[in-house]
Amino acid sequence: MNKEYDRFMHTVEHILNQTIARIFGCGRAFSAHIEKKKSKCDYRMERAPTAAEIAGVETAVNEIIRSNLPVTEEFMDRREAERLFNLKRLPDDAGETLRIVRVGGYDACPCIGPHVSRTGEIGAFRIISTTFKEGVSRVRFRLSPTGVDGVDDPCDA
């Protein structure tokens, strides 16, 4: 892995991807920039999500965080993974055995990054802005370590 990922943000990216895929049927992000302070994911969509839909995504992600699901890994033969997952973003040299990261029964995908052991470790998720241009919806987000129901949100500082 060439880049150091924040395990909290990286895990919430999995949850966000699955939530967006379920709500909009658009699949996982085709591009992502994951950083400790704030991150962004880009999705191909036919239309811009409404403010109510974005609020629903935020609520759904926080519900998964609160549910304190286990985050686990397993190793799978590439041929089996090809039947279950889209491997287009996988590097050519990924090998014949792939690491699959599962967020409880909510999400599973090939991944090389670090993750928390349970979703309850993540903190509160907040979508800070969205944009839509030429079929691409960009979602920018951050986390608050105080927890989903935390009063003192350092992201507001």
- 3: how many CB neighbours lie within 10 A of its CB? 9
Please report the domains of the chain, with CATH numbers, ordered by start residue.
7-72+118-150 (3.30.980.10)
- Whether 142 contacts 155, CB under 8 Å: yes
Q: Taking the model in full, what pTM does it have?
A: 0.88
Task: Say which residue the tokens 């704030």 belong to.
Answer: 38
In this predicted model, what pLDDT tens digit does every residue of 89-120 receive, in sequence order? 887 788 899 999 999 999 999 998 899 999 99
In this predicted model, what pLDDT tens digit does every residue of 69-91 receive, in sequence order? 999 999 999 999 999 998 888 87
- Between CA 141 and CA 90 the distance in angstroms is 24
